[in-house]
Structure 1
Amino acid sequence: MARTISADHDAKRGRILKAAAHSFAAHGLAGTSMARIAAECRLSKATLYHYYDSKDALLFDILDGYLSALRDRLIWLSVEDLSPQEALRRMVGEILLAFDGRDAEQTVYREARSALPREKQDILQSYVADTEAQLGRVLSRCAPTLEQDAEQRRAVSRLAFSMLTSFAQWAPQADADARARHADLVTRLMLGGVGAL
Structure 2
Amino acid sequence: MARPIAQDHDEKRRLILDRAAQLFADEGFDRASVSSVAKACNISKANIYHYYSSKDDILFDILDNYLRDLRDRICGMDIAGLGAEEKFRRTILEVLLAYQGSNYQHRLQTNSMGHLPENQRAILTEYQRDLVNHASILVGDIAPHVFDGDKHKLRSATMAVFGMLNWFYMWNEDADREAREDYADIVCKMSLLGIPGL
Name the TM tier (shorter chain). Answer: over 0.9
Contact 2:84 2:138 in 1 (8 A): yes
Q: Which segment drifts farther, 127-136 or 27-36? A: 27-36
Deviates more, 1:160-169 or 1:93-102: 160-169
SS at match of 1:82: coil
SS at structure 2 position matched to 1:114: helix
Alignment deviations for residues 44-84 of structure 1 (CA, whole Å, 9 cap, x no partner): 10001111111111111101110011111112102222222
Deviation at 1:31, TM superposition (A): 2.2
Aligned equivalents of 2:18 and 2:54: distance in 1?
16
CA distance in 1, matches of 2:125, 2:167: 17
Gapped runs of 5+ residues in structure 2?
Answer: none
Contact 2:19 2:40 in 1 (8 A): yes
The 8 Å contact of residues 67 and 128 in structure 2, kept in 1 or not, is answered as yes
Structure 2 residue identity aligned to 1:112: S
Distance, in Å, in 2 between the alignment partners of 1:14 and 1:188 is 38
Q: More displaced, 156-165 or 132-141?
A: 156-165
Q: One-letter code of the match for 1:196?
A: G
Contact 2:100 2:173 in 1 (8 A): no
Paired with 1:165 and 1:56, the residues of 2 have a C-alpha distance of 25
Larger deviation, residues 133-142 vs 163-172: 163-172
Which residue matches 1:186? 187
Contact 1:20 1:37 in 2 (8 A): yes
Q: How far is the alpha carbon of 1:152 from its aligned partner?
A: 2.0
Instruction: Tell me the equivalent position of 1:160.
Output: 161
| Shift in CA distance, 38/147, structure 1 to aligned 2, threshold 3 Å | farther
- The whole-number CA distance in structure 1 between the counterparts of 2:142 and 2:151 is 15
TM, length-normalised to structure 2: 0.95
Q: What's the Cα RMSD here?
A: 1.3
TM superposition shift of 1:151: 2.4
Secondary structure of the structure 1 residue equivalent to 2:112: helix
Render the CA deviation track for 1:73-126: whole Å, top value 9, x for unaligned: 112102222222111110000011111100110011111111111221121111
**Higher alpha-carbon deviation: 35-44 or 141-150:** 141-150
Tell me the matched-pair count.
197
**Which one-letter code corresponds to 1:18 in the other structure?**
D
TM-score normalized with structure 1 length:
0.95
Is residue 74–residue 94 contact of structure 2 (8 Å, CA) maintained in 1? yes
Take 1:122 and 1:166, find their aligned partners in 2: how far apart are those partners?
Answer: 25
Misfit runs of 4+, over 3 Å: none
Offset of residue 148 of structure 1: 2.1
**Distance apart, 1:168 and its partner CA:** 1.8
For residues 80 and 147 of structure 1, what CA distance do their matches in structure 2 show? 23
Does structure 1 residue 35 correspond to structure 2 residue 35? Answer: yes
Alpha-carbon distance, 1:147 to partner? 5.9
**Contact 1:107/1:168 (8 A) holds in 2:** no
1:148 paired with 2:145, answer no
Give the SS at the match of 2:107: helix
Write the distance in 1 (CA, Å) between the matches of 2:129 and 2:160: 13
